[in-house]
Structures are given as structure tokens and as C-alpha cells.
């Protein structure tokens, strides 16, 4: 199991700036030498994006164009940031800051807190889930372990999308989210959670970003100090940025455009956390003079694997699909992907385990093999199959099945029922082993129908359902088996799975496999209902499922095995069919012809038209802002909001200004935010001076973006029109 981008690193530090460029392909070299202005790198899977951007930074430093301390490279995981720092040191560019968004923001917040706020900065909360549990208890709302995790996820999503508690229900519905509880209850817990944080003097990870944004927005002097420190920015995995992270990036940049972003819209698989590829896809619109470089030379996978990956995206629809990249493998030919249709899930797992055993016996290292599935609940079948085949394995991004809390608790309940079942009224109507297990596990949360939606509640149900299915299979194979026999079987299965994992096959969900690669990949359970998952209903959700399968395919370097089962259990009705995503791609299937990709690899530069009509490269140009009273060019952030010099006479409506301040205080109290997070004083002054009549006029005022226009616009315009929020006229 290795990092996703294979690259041949120099055995020693390159001797010169030009030596840094050696070994790069033409497009990677274009990235490395494009050191000025906005740069957008559209990098397909396995195309060496990390190599390109680290060599870009190193070349700039070694050539004397970039000062190491003036560069900030941000990515999404500590592992990726650490890898980037290591590569930069090896290339002779030590001193460059490579951090996650949260790490960079926390560092700045800690430094500027005494100056911006005063006193000591609140401590970061140790256990967010526990705080959410306390908030739910304060609201007299009971959440089990799974619901607690899901509600915590909803709060995190709300904060990174800058949604306050009062707006949660509407925002969640608009985003098509499957709320784990009644949205009104989640909003109530969210509000109580914010109150508890303030009462205990703590902040969470999302607050780090929110507070840093607030400080940089409100304190021009601090923003300028940060901008004087960092003049050049590089953002990796740009398709995964949230609206809050994008806002922080904009504040770091200010009016400058020394920004390089790297991403692939076809690998957007975390939209449920607030990530959106829109910032990547809109980059050229926001920065008309940008240089766009497409990396499509795939150094990771064989032509056969790349052909399947391209075929998957060729059938995709939607905005991300319109910008897909068609990869071109740079490796020698390998074996074709193997497609296997199995009678049932145990047979599918046993077949995969048998083939893995053969590969290992033939010399393939177990650590270079992965089994990837859609949900963590699928792992148990493969854990058992690998254990039965004597194959060591390791789980990534999930607990072992028998270590899961709900499974341990269910085991205790089954053991108790086996000992004292004669006195348990739950078992009065249970006539056989499967019905006994269903009766016992119904008290632990199992139901005949799965819960709606996804997340921890669904995963918990699937774990219990796996035990129910196991009981059915066990009873079918052993006539007269008792509950005690099943408990003994569960104990044996649990102990058999404690195999050494130093050199083990990786078992992972598709989400947790992002950023990794293996020589051999088994994609299992690729059937309708699992891929795409049952609860993916909208076109957008279906397309994200397709991208998830694409990520799985592109994890394989040499060999790829794709399988599905016609039924869940042996002897079951063979009603399942292979995933629709394989139509037209697997042998013997028919499908819709794909569309051509959005152009080959290469470089695109921003263009404009000269007076003679010729197309020439252009840089983004900004019209200087001028005072609407005296005409002087404005540079101060506060003056830019007012669109006049501080010293020029003001025609502000003092009464309107005071009404706006009173309204802002109420909004700040409702949202649990500082007043300046609603609107700053300067923005309110600008509103009171211009007295806008409609959305268009209000939107032109600096400090009123689309988000605030949508949230507060109606209120502000009503106040400007002399109305209270009930629509009554206010006397002068």
C-alpha cells in the first residue's frame, strides 16, 4: 500500500534549478515553470500531480523566483502534507510551508488571537462527539452511538457550508441530504452544541476556519500581515474544497493572483462533507487570465485498466463529466480486467480469497493486493473468507467486524439469551435458531427493513443484519443447531480473524482507498443496489457513485478483478444484476456509447483580443476602485466597502444605520456568531449610505456576497424600505 502518485525521486538534491526539471514530461514541466499568475492543473488519476507541483515550488525556490517562507502549500490530510514537505526537502526547497487548511488556519489564529480578540485563545474541544451528546441531552433528545456520529457529521457539514442552526432544515433539504433525525431536532442539537461550546470556552475544528475567516475579514491590518508573509499559494485536491475553505483561500490571496490549484472533478467523492468541484470548474471564469495545464499521461495503470476507467467516465453525465480527462497510459500492456459473476456473496468472497491465495503463492506480496467494497458492512464476509484461506489482511478506515461496538453488544445479548433464554419473553414465539436471533437482535436495533439514508445508522443495521444472515446460513448447514452453538461459532470466527497484518491484504471501502494504489485490486459487490448504492436517488448522487467506482478502478496498477453476486445467500433467488456502470464495458454487455473527453492533455492560456483583432495572451485586469465623492483611488478595505474615503463627507441615514445594527444584533444572537460575522460596521454604513432598492443594488455593495444576499437580503431591503420585518411602515 503506497501513496497514490508513483514518482522517481532524486537520490540526492538536484544540483541546480534546471536539474529540478529533469525527468518531467512536457505538461509537468509546463506546470513547474508557470510561476506567475493563476494556474489551474487538471490532473487525472496517476498522472504525477504531486510530482508536478512539488517540482514547481522547488524550481521557483532554486531559481530565486520564490522565497521559501513566502510559499504556502495546502492540502487535505496530514499524510499528504508530510509527503509534500519530504519531497520539497529532497528537492532543496526546505522552509516551504506545506500544511492542511486547518493546520495553517490554527497557526494563524493562535498567533493573532491576542491582537484581534485579546486574552487566551479558547482550547480545541477534545471530543466533539461527547459535546454533541451533552447538547442532545440538554435538549432531551436521545441519540444512540450511530445517530450521534451522524448528527455530528451534519453539524460539521453545516459549519463548512456556513449554515447556521436556524437555516439547517432548509439547507439540508436544498442539498438533498438524508437527515439521520428530524431536521428540527438536529437544528435544536446544533444550536445547543454552539451554546455549550461558548459556555465551556472551547472551539471545534470548523470554528478554527470560521474564526480565521472572521478575523481576516474584519481586521484589514492582520489580513495584510498574513498577505505580506505569503505571496504564493498552491492548493492540492482542489475539487474537495468546501465553501468555507474557499473563502479562507480568497482572504489569504486578497487582490493577488499567484495561485496554483490542482484537482480532478472526476474524483469528487466527498460531497456529503461539503466538498464541491465548482471552485475547480469555475476557476477559469474567476481568473480569465489563468494558465490551464491538463495532465493525462497515466504512469500508474496499464492500458487495460486505463481503458476501463475512461469507459466509465465516457458514459457519465453532469458538469463534472463535461470536464473529464481521458487518460493515456504510459505503461506496457497488462492483463485485461477480469469480470466474475457469482451465485451468491459467500461464493464471491471465497472466489476472491482463492484467487488472492494463488497470487501470493505465485510471488505477489500481500501488501500489494486490495479488496475494495462500497460499505464497511461488506468487510465481514471477506475477513472470514481470507481467514479461511490463510491469507493475512488489514482493515483500513474501518474496525474489524467483530470489534464493532454494535457487534460486541449483540454478542453479549446473544450469549445472555443462550444462557437464560427460557426466561426471556422475547423468545416465546421463536421456533427456530434464525427466529431466536432475530428476536434478540430486534432489541438491539435490527428491523426487517433497513433504515432510510446512509451513514452510521445504516452501517449499524447492516452489521446486525449480517449476524441475522449468518444465523440463517448456520442453521441451514447444521440441523438442530442451538443458540449456544451459534455463540460458540461466533467466538471461533472472531478468534480466527486475529491474523498478523504486517504483510496483509488491504480491505478498504472505496472512500478510504482514495489516494492509495496497489498492484492488484479486487472490486467486489459491483451490483445494482450496492453500486450505485440503493439510497442514491438523484442524478447527482448517481454520478458521484460512478465517480466512486472510477476511483476504485484507478487504484489498480496491473491487475483488476471486478465481481458481483446474483443473490445474497446460497440458494437465494438470483435477482441481482451487475451494476449499470459496467454496461457496454464488460464482455457480453450492451450500453450507451460514451462521449469524447474535454480535450487532450496540454496547456491552455487566457486570451483577449487586441484592437487589431488578434488573439493575445492576457492577464486578469482589475478596474481601480475610486471614491464616489472625490474620485481618489481606493486601496483600504474599509474605504472599499464604503466606496469613499474615510474623510469624505457621508450622506448616511443615521436612523437606518441604527435599525440595521439592532437587526444585526438579533441575527448574531440567533446564529451564535459574533455580530461582525453577519455584517461588519463598514458594510452596514455602506448600506445606510446607498439605501438599496433591490437585490442587484444590494449585491453591488462590497461585503454583501451571494450567500449573505440569499440569507439576509429580504430583511435588509425591508428595513431600507422603512418597514419592520412584519411589513409595517416605520414612522420617521
User: For residues 328 and 551, is the Cβ–Cβ distance under 8 A?
Assistant: no
Radius of gyration of the chain (CA): 29
Q: Is 541 exposed, middle or buried (0-12, 13-18, 19+ CB in 10 A)?
A: middle
Q: Does 86 belong to an annotated binding site?
A: no
Of the CA atoms within 13 Å of residue 405, those in its CB half-sphere come to: 8
Q: For residue 36, give the C-alpha cell.
A: 506567475
For the beta carbon of residue 211, count every other beta carbon within 10 angstroms: 24
Q: How far is CA 711 from the centre of its chain?
A: 25
Q: Could you give the CA distance from residue 411 to residue 441 in angstroms, rounded to a whole number?
A: 9
Say if residue 49 carries a ligand binding annotation. Answer: yes
Cβ-contact 20, 55 below 8 angstroms: yes
CA dist 676 and 649 (Å) reads 24
Angle at 103 between CA 49 and CA 94, to 5 degrees: 55
| DSSP 8-state symbol, 335 | P
Torsion of CA 712, 715, 721, 724, to 10 degrees: -160
Q: Which H helix or E strand runs over 155? A: helix 145-160
Extended strands (E) in 67-140: 71-75, 97-100, 123-124
Beta carbons within 8 Å of 447's beta carbon, 6+ residues apart: 461
Contact 660, 667 (CB under 8 A): no
Q: Is 479 annotated as a binding residue?
A: no
On whether 128 is known to bind a ligand per the annotation, the reply is no
Rounded to an integer, what distance in angstroms lies between the CA atom of residue 545 and that of residue 356? 26
Does 50 count as an annotated binding residue? Answer: yes
Is residue 48 a known part of a binding site? Answer: yes
Residues facing residue 561 across a β-bridge: 338, 522
Gap between the Cα atoms of 495 and 714, Å rounded? 63
260 backbone dihedrals φ, ψ, rounded to 5°: -125, 120
Residue 668 CB partners (closer than 8 Å, separation 6+): 674, 675, 677, 678
Q: How many CA atoms lie within 13 A of 254 on its CB side?
A: 20
The residues facing 530 across adjacent strands are: 533
45 annotated to bind ligand: yes
268 annotated ligand binder = no
| β-sheet bridge partners, residue 517 | 2
Non-local (6+) Cβ contacts of 490 within 8 A are 402, 411, 414, 467, 470
Q: In what order do the strands lie in the sheet with 71-75?
A: 97-100, 71-75, 232-235, 259-263, 39-43, 291-295, 602-604
Tell whether omega for the bond before 451 is within 30 degrees of 0, i.e. cis: no
DSSP symbols for 658-710: HHHHHHHHHHHHHHTS-GGGT--HHHHHHHHHH---SHHHHHTSTT--HHHHH
CA dist 638 and 681 (Å) reads: 9
**Cα dist. 625→221, 631, 643, 645 in Å?**
19, 9, 8, 11
Residue stretches of the annotated binding site: 43-50
User: Known binding site for ATP: residues?
Assistant: 43-50
Amino acid at each position: 500500500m503506497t501513496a497514490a502518485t508513483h514518482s522517481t525521486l532524486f537520490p540526492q538534491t538536484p544540483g541546480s534549478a534546471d536539474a529540478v526539471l529533469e525527468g518531467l514530461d512536457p505538461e509537468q514541466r509546463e506546470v513547474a515553470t508557470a510561476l506567475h499568475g493563476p494556474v489551474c492543473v487538471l490532473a487525472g488519476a496517476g498522472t504525477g500531480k504531486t510530482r508536478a507541483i512539488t517540482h514547481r515550488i522547488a524550481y521557483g525556490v532554486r531559481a530565486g523566483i520564490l522565497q521559501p517562507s513566502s510559499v504556502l502549500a495546502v492540502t487535505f490530510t496530514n499524510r499528504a502534507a508530510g509527503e509534500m514537505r519530504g519531497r520539497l526537502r529532497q528537492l532543496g526547497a526546505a522552509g516551504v510551508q506545506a500544511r492542511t487548511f486547518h493546520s495553517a488556519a490554527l497557526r494563524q489564529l493562535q498567533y493573532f488571537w491576542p491582537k484581534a480578540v485579546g486574552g487566551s485563545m479558547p482550547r480545541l474541544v477534545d471530543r466533539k462527539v461527547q459535546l454533541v451528546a451533552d447538547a442532545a441531552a440538554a435538549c432531551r433528545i436521545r441519540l444512540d452511538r450511530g445517530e450521534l456520529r451522524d448528527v455530528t457529521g451534519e453539524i460539521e457539514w453545516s459549519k463548512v457550508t456556513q449554515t447556521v442552526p436556524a437555516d439547517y432544515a432548509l439547507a439540508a433539504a436544498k442539498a438533498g441530504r438524508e437527515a439521520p433525525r428530524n431536521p428540527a431536532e438536529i437544528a435544536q442539537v446544533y444550536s445547543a452544541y454552539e451554546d455549550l461550546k461558548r459556555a465551556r470556552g472551547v472551539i471545534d475544528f470548523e470554528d478554527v476556519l470560521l474564526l480565521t475567516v472572521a478575523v481576516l475579514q474584519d481586521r484589514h491590518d492582520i489580513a495584510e500581515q498574513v498577505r505580506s508573509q505569503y505571496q504564493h499559494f498552491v492548493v492540492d485536491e482542489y475539487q474537495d474544497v468546501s465553501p468555507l475553505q474557499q473563502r479562507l483561500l480568497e482572504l489569504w490571496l486578497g487582490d493577488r493572483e499567484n495561485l496554483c490549484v490542482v484537482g480532478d472533478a472526476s474524483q469528487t467523492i466527498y460531497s456529503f462533507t461539503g466538498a464541491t468541484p465548482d471552485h475547480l470548474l469555475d476557476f477559469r471564469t474567476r481568473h480569465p487570465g489563468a494558465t490551464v495545464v491538463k495532465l493525462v499521461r497515466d504512469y500508474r495503470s496499464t492500458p487495460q485498466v486505463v481503458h476501463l476507467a475512461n469507459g466509465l467516465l465516457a458514459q457519465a453525465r453532469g458538469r463534472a463529466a463535461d470536464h473529464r480527462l481521458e487518460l493515456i497510459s504510459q505503461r506496457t500492456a497488462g492483463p485485461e480486467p477480469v469480470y466474475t459473476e457469482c451465485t451468491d456473496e459467500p461464493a464471491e468472497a471465497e472466489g476472491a480469497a482463492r484467487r488472492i491465495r494463488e497470487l501470493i503463492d505465485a510471488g505477489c506480496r500481500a501488501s500489494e493486493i486490495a479488496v475494495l467494497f462500497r460499505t464497511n458492512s461488506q468487510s465481514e464476509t471477506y475477513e472470514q473468507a481470507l481467514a479461511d484461506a490463510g491469507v493475512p489482511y488489514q482493515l483500513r478506515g474501518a474496525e474489524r467486524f467483530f470489534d464493532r461496538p454494535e457487534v460486541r453488544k449483540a454478542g453479549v445479548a446473544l450469549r445472555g439469551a443462550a444462557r437464560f433464554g427460557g426466561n426471556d419473553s422475547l423468545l416465546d414465539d421463536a421456533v427456530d435458531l434464525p427466529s431466536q436471533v432475530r428476536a434478540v437482535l430486534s432489541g438491539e436495533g435490527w428491523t426487517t427493513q433497513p433504515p432510510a439514508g446512509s451513514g452510521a445508522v445504516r452501517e449499524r443495521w447492516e452489521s446486525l443484519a449480517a449476524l441475522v444472515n449468518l444465523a440463517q446460513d448456520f442453521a441451514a448447514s447444521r440441523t438442530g443447531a442451538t443458540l449456544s452453538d451459534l455463540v460458540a461459532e461466533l467466538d471461533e470466527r472472531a478468534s480466527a480473524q486475529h491474523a498478523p497484518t504486517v504483510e496483509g491484504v488491504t480491505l478498504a471501502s472505496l472512500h478510504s482507498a482514495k489516494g492509495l494504489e496497489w498492484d492488484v485490486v479486487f472490486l467486489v459487490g459491483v451490483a445494482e443496489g450496492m453500486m450505485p448504492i440503493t439510497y442514491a436517488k438523484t442524478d447527482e448522487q448517481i454520478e458521484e457513485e460512478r465517480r466512486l467506482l472510477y476511483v476504485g478502478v484507478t487504484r489498480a496498477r496491473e491487475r483488476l478483478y471486478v465481481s458481483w453476486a446474483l443473490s445474497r445467500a446460497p440458494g437465494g433467488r438470483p435477482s441481482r444484476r451487475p451494476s449499470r456502470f459496467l454496461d457496454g464495458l464488460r464482455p457480453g454487455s450492451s450500453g450507451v456509447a460514451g462521449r469524447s473527453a474535454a480535450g487532450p492533455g496540454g496547456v491552455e492560456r487566457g486570451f483577449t483580443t487586441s484592437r487589431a483583432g488578434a488573439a493575445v495572451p492576457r492577464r486578469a485586469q482589475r478596474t481601480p476602485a475610486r471614491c464616489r465623492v472625490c474620485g481618489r483611488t481606493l486601496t483600504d478595505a474599509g474605504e472599499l466597502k464604503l466606496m469613499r474615503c474615510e474623510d469624505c463627507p457621508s450622506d448616511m441615514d443615521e436612523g437606518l444605520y441604527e435599525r440595521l445594527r439592532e437587526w444585526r444584533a438579533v441575527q448574531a444572537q440567533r446564529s451564535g456568531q459574533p455580530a461582525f460575522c453577519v455584517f461588519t460596521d463598514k458594510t452596514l454604513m455602506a448600506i445606510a449610505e446607498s439605501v438599496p432598492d433591490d437585490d442587484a443594488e444590494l449585491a453591488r455593495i462590497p461585503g454583501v456576497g451571494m450567500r449573505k444576499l440569499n440569507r439576509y437580503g429580504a430583511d435588509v431591503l425591508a428595513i431600507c424600505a422603512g418597514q419592520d420585518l412584519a411589513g409595517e411602515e416605520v414612522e420617521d
